[in-house]
């Protein structure tokens, strides 16, 4: 069976040409799969029945199966746990957030993760495998289809690869996913509305810069110096700040895009005024913006969120130091919509 979901329109043209079909059929097929989120060939009513039947024999739509859907009644955040089509029945999370400017999807790029950040639930159980581009775009398609039930006009406008996994370890499939998501007859996400978030893999940052796409790079910094960062993120021993920061500068220069630095505030660990001053010195003069994130505590890790006054003071010091900083609103707290926490619950208490 050929997986149609991972194919760009040109590639679908090839598959359909082999069936003796003209190129416009490929565009129609792409629009059914990606634009309308068809879950079966029988839904594709603008295609001739005979073609639909032939496709059903040779091709599959790479569907994932929702295991659960949770919605936070306070802020509209929706989180799906999706079962992948593999023998192990692996699951991944995908989240839709509602902002004043529209809908945003948070997509996972791997099952599990082996980066091992101390505060993150995704590394529990280690890395199981990379997701394919088909499995990533399916997350977006399912979130759009779910949205259309309520509001047929509504579409997700932004994508952040900030779900489970480290996208730079799976860059080939991530790039294919972004190209699929960009297609106007599919999900139609603008390049400038895409963000790839990394724990700081320098070769990945360089490879992404070489693609020359105007997408936003987000770097999970979480510390103003190597000592604190080593404690929180073992990856820093491989790519310390002396390598990471120049790679970030080069990315900003090569793409002209403003970088985002993510900074999870952890009580007493990285949230002190001296940390904020050191961070302001580290980032001064760079085309960037700091996204301060309240810690979502993971049981058993012994890390506490930063008190609200400390977070406000941290932001103020950064701003006074000439660095743009926003404090991220916490979304989806009523539904464990943070960082591997829903899958983790499922792993601990498997549903029958
Ligand atoms: N591996 C990539 C992308 C996935 S993590 C990366 O590290 O950037 C997406 C973001 O969620 C990262 O900034 C990560 O540090 C943050 N994060 C992970 N666990 C968290 C937690 N418990 N509370 C708040 N943010 C968390």
Question: Considering only CA atoms, which residue is closest to atom 21 of ligand 1?
Answer: 296
C-alpha count within 13 angstroms, C-beta hemisphere, residue 34? 31
Report residue 123's pLDDT band, with 50, 70 and 90 as the boundaries: confident
Report residue 100's pLDDT band, with 50, 70 and 90 as the boundaries: confident
Instruction: Judge if pTM exceeds 0.85.
Output: yes
Residue 25 Cα to ligand 1 middle (Å): 41
- pLDDT at position 328 is 77
Residue 343 has pLDDT above 80, yes or no: no
Mutation choice for ligand 1 from 339, 343, 344, 345, CB with most ligand atoms inside 8 A: 339
- pLDDT at position 213 is 94
Task: Let me know if 288 is a catalytic residue.
Answer: no
Whether 303 and 254 have beta carbons less than 8 Å apart is answered as no
Looking only at the bridges linking them, the beta strands covering 102-106 and 91-99 are antiparallel
Residue 72 has pLDDT above 80, yes or no: yes
Give the H or E element holding residue 278. helix 273-283
Residues with CB under 6 A from ligand 1: 115, 117, 119-120, 162, 166, 197-199, 220, 262, 264, 293, 295-296, 298, 338-339
Kindly report the backbone phi and psi dihedral angles of residue 241, in degrees, each rounded to the nearest multiple of 5, phi listed first: -60, -30
Determine how many CB atoms are found less than 10 A away from the CB of residue 150.
Answer: 8
Which tokens sit at 280?
A: 């302001």
Phi-psi bin for 243: left (phi > 0), alpha (psi -120 to 50), beta?
Answer: alpha
Task: Let me know if 93 is a catalytic residue.
Answer: yes
> Domain spans of the chain?
2-60, 65-348
Residue 151 Cα to ligand 1 middle (Å): 30
- pLDDT at position 83 is 97
Mutation choice for ligand 1 from 117, 238, 341, CB with most ligand atoms inside 8 A: 117
**Do you know the residue count of the chain?**
352
Dist. CA 17–CA 55, nearest whole Å: 12
State the chain's mean pLDDT as an integer. Answer: 92
- pLDDT at position 346 is 46
Question: Considering only CA atoms, which residue is closest to atom 13 of ligand 1?
Answer: 220
**Of 106, 120, 187, 339, which one is the catalytic site residue?**
339
- pLDDT at position 84 is 97
Residue 339 Cα to ligand 1 middle (Å): 6
Residue 35 has pLDDT above 70, yes or no: yes
Question: Considering only CA atoms, which residue is closest to atom 9 of ligand 1?
Answer: 162
Domain 65-348 coded CATH 3.20.20.70? yes
Whether 343 and 109 have beta carbons less than 8 Å apart is answered as no
Residue 167 Cα to ligand 1 middle (Å): 12
Atom of ligand 1 nearest to the CA of 341: 22
Q: What average pLDDT does range 301-317 have in this prediction?
A: 95
pLDDT tens digits along 143-201 = 999 999 988 899 999 999 999 999 999 999 999 999 999 999 999 999 999 999 999 99
Least confident of 59-63, 78-82, 326-330: 326-330
CB proximity list for 275: less than 8 A, separation 6 or greater: 223, 224, 228, 314
Domain 2-60, architecture per CATH = Orthogonal Bundle (1.10)
Atom of ligand 1 nearest to the CA of 119: 22
């Amino acid at each position: 069976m050929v997986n149609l979901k991972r194919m760009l329109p040109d590639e679908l043209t090839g598959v359909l040409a082999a069936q003796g079909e003209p190129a416009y059929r490929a565009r129609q097929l792409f629009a059914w799969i990606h634009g309308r989120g068809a879950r079966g060939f029988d839904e594709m009513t603008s295609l001739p029945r005979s073609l639909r039947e032939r496709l059903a024999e040779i091709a599959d739509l790479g569907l994932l199966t929702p295991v659960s859907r949770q919605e936070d009644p306070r802020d509209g955040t929706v989180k799906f746990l999706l079962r992948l089509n593999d023998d192990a029945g692996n699951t991944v999370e995908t989240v839709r957030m509602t902002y004043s400017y529209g809908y945003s999807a948070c997509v996972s790029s791997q099952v599990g993760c082996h980066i091992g950040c101390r505060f993150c639930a995704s590394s529990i159980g280690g890395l199981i495998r990379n997701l394919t581009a088909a499995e990533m775009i399916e997350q977006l398609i399912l979130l759009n289809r779910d949205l259309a039930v309520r509001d047929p006009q509504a579409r997700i406008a932004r994508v952040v690869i900030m779900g489970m996994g480290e996208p730079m370890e799976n860059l080939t499939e991530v790039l294919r996913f972004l190209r699929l998501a960009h297609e106007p007859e599919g999900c139609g996400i603008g390049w400038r509305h895409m963000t790839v978030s990394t724990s700081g893999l320098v070769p990945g940052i360089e490879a992404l810069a070489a693609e020359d796409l105007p997408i936003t790079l987000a770097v999970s910094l979480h510390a103003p110096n190597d000592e604190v960062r080593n404690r929180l993120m073992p990856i820093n021993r491989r790519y310390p700040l002396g390598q990471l920061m120049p790679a970030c500068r080069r990315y900003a220069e090569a793409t002209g895009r403003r970088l985002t630095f993510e900074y999870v505030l952890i009580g007493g660990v990285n949230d002190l005024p001296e940390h904020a001053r050191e961070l302001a010195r580290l980032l001064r003069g760079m085309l960037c913006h700091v996204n301060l994130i309240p810690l979502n505590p993971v049981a058993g890790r012994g890390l506490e969120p930063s008190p609200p006054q400390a977070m406000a003071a941290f932001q103020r010091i950064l701003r006074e130091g000439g660095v743009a900083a926003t404090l991220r609103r916490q979304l989806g707290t009523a539904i464990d919509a943070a960082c591997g926490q829903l899958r983790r619950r499922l792993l601990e208490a498997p549903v029958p």
